[in-house]
Amino acid sequence: MTIRKIARMGHPVLLQHAQPVEDPKSQEIRRLVADMVETMIDANGAGLAAPQVHEPVRVVVFQAPPERVPPETEAEEAFDHTAPLTVLINPRIEVLTEERAYGWEGCLSVPGMRGLVPRPTRIRYSGLDLEGNEVSRDARGFHARVVCHECDHLDGILYPQRMDDLKDLIFETEARHWSGDRPSDATKTESAD
């Protein structure tokens, strides 16, 4: 396993549509996934998409461990926000509700920044694992947010492009100032009509 260099916002690999994986069981894909997991863990990320490590293919890895779930989210909703370490090859997302929730997101390709991003509150995702088996799960809350964020990378989209207002793009070092000033922004929801 190798810790790979992470592409940063502005690099062309992050702007393109990733190509489908033809053989999810190939040794090349297994090595890529092992490197992605190692890189994600080393960088303390919740997820990583192949384009972020300079590979323009449709592969994502993610996890939503309990310690990464925002505490205010877990308290207000009764469902499980967590997800085990998951590999998705050629993922697909089906949005199950028009309801959107705002949450602060960061990205290993946009280091040191956070942005307030609306995302669907319920999704179903599917794809293949490393054995070529179908994976399909329903997700809500933080789990859904992580999956949507990582799959956006496969279509050349970074989270600032999903934001409603760039005034809500801040440096992590300034986040403590916003937590007391705008608590309702992080939890507000909207319906797409």
Tokens of 139: 């997700």
Report d(CA 143, CA 101) in Å as an integer: 13
76: annotated active-site residue: no
Do 86 and 143 meet the contact criterion of CB atoms below 8 Å apart? no
Catalytic residue among 38, 134, 150, 190: 150
93: which strand partners?
Answer: 125
Q: Which SS3 state, helix, strand or coil, does residue 175 take?
A: helix
- Radius of gyration (Cα) for the chain, nearest Å? 16
Do 56 and 18 meet the contact criterion of CB atoms below 8 Å apart? yes
Closest CA relative to residue 15, chosen from 155, 166, 161: 155
Q: Which SS3 state, helix, strand or coil, does residue 129 take?
A: coil
- Exposure of 56 by Cβ count < 10 A (0-12 exposed, 13-18 middle, 19+ buried)? middle
Residues identified as active-site: 150
